[in-house]
Amino acid sequence: MNAGHLSVPKVVVFDLGKVLLDFDFNKAARTLAGDSDSSTEEVAGLINQTPLLHRYETGLMTTQEFFDEFRGLTGYRKSLPEFCRDLGDIFTEVGLMVGLNRFWRTQGLPTYIFSNTSELAVDHIRASFPFFSEFTGYILSYEHRVMKPDPRLYEVVERTVGTSGCQILYFDDRAENIETARDRGWQVILHDRPEESLRILRQAGLAP
């Protein structure tokens, strides 16, 4: 979005992966493959943006069911807690965006996380990254049994934050997720690099 089109929002909504946290599924795939009968490529084909993962992130499977299906398909030999640890250990904090959230919170601006994610990932993030507790609220796909870019999840956001349209400023790294938000009149930034998102915000007078 052009900076000239941004106005002061009442609420800021952040996607989680590739915005506040970077992630690398290949790291988990290598570790999990080492304890299974499958190759790194085969494991990655099960855990990285796949139908199996999407069923889990949509709340259609429990963590135990997800683990059981993964184990059956790969011959994984370790326990559920070890699986959760190794699959969860894929994230690194994006400091500039975490700092941006902290700035806005000091200004009294409500901020929310809006993410396609799973119980396993959120449990790991909550335990590993203190910044996760610093938001006003959370709209997570697995809790609502629907994923972005389905408009029904955006309706949940609007009910949760108590406003709609241009009062919401939203960051996401995926164009299809941004398009649904734009269709609802939200202000949007298609996030690629934190430096670029901050530049746009500073031009609009919305960041220090």
Residue with tokens 């690194």: 92
Query: For 150-162, how does the pLDDT look when each residue is reduced to its tens digit (9 = 90+)?
Result: 999 999 999 999 9
Whole-prediction pTM value? Answer: 0.95
On the question of pLDDT at 46 being above 90, the answer is yes
% of the chain surpassing 90 pLDDT: 97
pLDDT tier at 140, thresholds 50, 70, 90: very high
Task: For domain 25-88, give its CATH number from 1.10.3470, 1.20.144, 1.10.150, 1.20.58.
Answer: 1.10.150
Q: How many residues are recorded in the chain?
A: 208
Question: At residue 136, what is the residue type?
Answer: T
On the question of pLDDT at 4 being above 60, the answer is no
Please say whether the beta carbons of 153 and 144 come within 8 A. yes
Q: What is the pLDDT of residue 3?
A: 47
CA 156, CA 144: separation in Å to the nearest integer? Answer: 8
> Which residues are paired to 170 by β-bridges?
13, 188
**25-88: same fold as 3-23+91-203?**
no
Q: What are the φ and ψ backbone dihedral angles of 11, each rounded to 5 degrees?
A: -145, 140
Query: For 33-42, how does the pLDDT look when each residue is reduced to its tens digit (9 = 90+)?
Result: 999 999 999 9
On the question of pLDDT at 32 being above 50, the answer is yes
Lowest mean pLDDT among 28-32, 47-51, 104-108: 47-51
Q: What is the pLDDT of residue 5?
A: 83
pLDDT (mean) for 190-205: 97
On the question of pLDDT at 17 being above 90, the answer is yes
CA 175, CA 127: separation in Å to the nearest integer? Answer: 30
Q: What is the pLDDT of residue 49?
A: 86
pLDDT (mean) for 168-178: 98
Q: Which one, of 205, 4, 201, 203, lies nearest residue 96 by Cα?
A: 201
CA 108, CA 92: separation in Å to the nearest integer? Answer: 27
- For the chain, the structural domain boundaries read 3-23+91-203, 25-88
pLDDT (mean) for 29-51: 95
118 φψ region: left (φ > 0), alpha (ψ -120 to 50), beta (else)? beta
- Average pLDDT in the chain: 96
Q: What are the φ and ψ backbone dihedral angles of 168, each rounded to 5 degrees?
A: -105, 130
Q: Which one, of 116, 105, 104, 110, lies nearest residue 162 by Cα?
A: 110
Q: What is the pLDDT of residue 2?
A: 43
On the question of pLDDT at 8 being above 50, the answer is yes
CATH superfamily, domain 3-23+91-203, is HAD superfamily/HAD-like (3.40.50.1000)
